[in-house]
Amino acid sequence: MDSFEWLHGYVYAFGLYHVDFNDPNRPRTPKYSSYIYSQIINNNGLPVPEEEKIMWGHFREDFLWSSSTSAYQIEGAWTADGKGLSIWDTFSHTLGKVANNDNGDISCDSYNKLDVDIGLLKQIKVSHYRFSISWPRVLPDGTIHNINEAGINYYQRVIDALLAANIQPQITLYHWDLPQALEDEGGWLNETIVDRFSDYADLLFSRFGQKVKLWITINEAYIVALLGYGYGSFAPGINRDPSTLQYVAAHNIIKAHAEAWHVYNDKYRAEQKGLISITINSEWAEPRNPFKQEDIDGAKRYMDFFIGWFANPIFNGDYTESMKKYILERSLAAGLEKSRLPEFTPAEIARIKGTHDFFGLNYYTSVLVFPVDFGNTLNYDADRGVAFIHDRTWLDTGSSWLKMAPLGFRRILKYIKDEYGNPPVIVTENGLSENGPIDLNDEHRSYFYENHVNQLLKAYLVDGVDVRGYTAWSLMDNLEWAAGYSERFGFFYVNHSHPDRPRTPKASVSYYTTLVNCNGFPDPAEGPHEQMLGSFSKTLFIPFAFLSFRTF
């Protein structure tokens, strides 16, 4: 109970019961904390909330299990065999742009270690491997007038080696390494890039399409537009007009994606019989206070400006109404004659809508959102008019922006089902980083995958989300963009200080392989699964009530 707190007298109250010291009878009144503590005593601990309990079950028989990398992050060989410069070559060689002035000149040296990397994939038993094509490796100046056959041949070898190992290639056309020659002409700010990208996609479909059945046009357009042309924290580092340029870049990215999709659909689909879509990244947003309407509205606006920025035009036909409304109002209030958000013509809306065969989702973390008035500031954050925090109970990782929030994974999958007509969903990235001293016993990574994949299973079995596949990021530690080599997402540790770049498996390799082999979570009550490497009862499914979204 509240009591005399030494030098502080009755100012500080530590008790489970409030004591009214102004009443001569000193009545005791229970606080809410007394109720919580009594529950802890009765339950002899903290029981796992129902939505966080493990669910036993399996994914569909043809479920896609994959791991992923990207060209700039692993290949190295930055000037080998006729490759042209990319914007990340330029950016990383600019002093101070990348942590520790790291660069991808050698990186994991995967360009010269194809057989080694195929061995890693065979070790984790995946059915697919998601990797990207380096645009400047096959088209040094970004145009089809200068095709680098050495680059084409390299990717042919990658594809053939994967198929020989019974692993299906899952190819991303663009994972951020734009040819520097195209950036010199304006990059994603120049509308001519739509045709350049369409030509590039056409070339890849014609050369590789007989062997590749799963294509992704562009990875995380949100990052390309906002970090590349708004904040300037990623290549090409443009930040001269954060009020507008990210919207221009995004507009061209969306149109470029649509044209590439139509090229495949019109020229190649009938014969090659593959699937093609875009990968969209997003966090899940919860209202900071779920009982405040302004926080609820702010969380929805956060989603409209994040996942909706790209998903809405492609799946529903245009930018979200909130993006159009808020950017227009704030543009006019600043004395501009029109919105800073470009408009699609009716013909463009018709051309873009429906350019998807599945929803490619990259999910890493969640946020708690609340409204903020940015005054007269004109930029992306001010336009959406919210700020966010992370729940302090969510576990940290090796990246400041990434907190473990597995419940948000299930919720964003359900959101996609409800907002975009329950499309087939392939999770194209999900993973955990670490930093600091090397520790191959990465139990935290196994914990992350167990809880996130189990929430994915619930989305599939309980919520009816049409989940088709899961891709873990990443196969190996690599250049983590502006963070350099300081943040490590891989199943395999890569010693970047050693000239041979040796790969060493971490403990999470065994756990993820078990998930893949079992195609989910076999019920221990039914006996050991025939493909199980180790019992799930020995894994890291710890009661984690402290990971849940806060309750007010």
**Is the distance from CB of 220 to CB of 279 less than 8 angstroms?**
yes
Question: Known catalytic residue: 51?
Answer: no
Produce one character per residue of 128-157: b if its CB has 16 or more CB atoms within 10 Å, e if not. bbbbbbbbbbbbbbbeeeeebeebbebbee
| Cα three-residue angle 338-343-349, rounded to 5 degrees | 160
Distance, C-alpha 119 to centroid of its chain? 25
Task: For tokens 């009982």, name the residue.
Answer: 291
Distance CA 449, CA 432 (A): 8
Residues β-bridged to residue 146: none
Distance CA 20, CA 23 (A): 6
Amino acid at 1: M
Element (H, E) at 523: none
Active-site residue, selected from the candidate residues 283, 286, 419, 429: 429
- Where helices occur in 212-335 by DSSP H, the ranges are 221-226, 245-263, 269-272, 293-305, 307-311, 321-333
Residues 6+ apart with CB under 8 A from 449: 432, 472, 508, 511, 512, 515
Closest to 72 in 3D by CA, of 239, 181, 235: 235
Residues β-bridged to residue 371: 386
Let me know how long the chain is.
552
3-state SS, residue 547: helix
The catalytic residue positions are 429
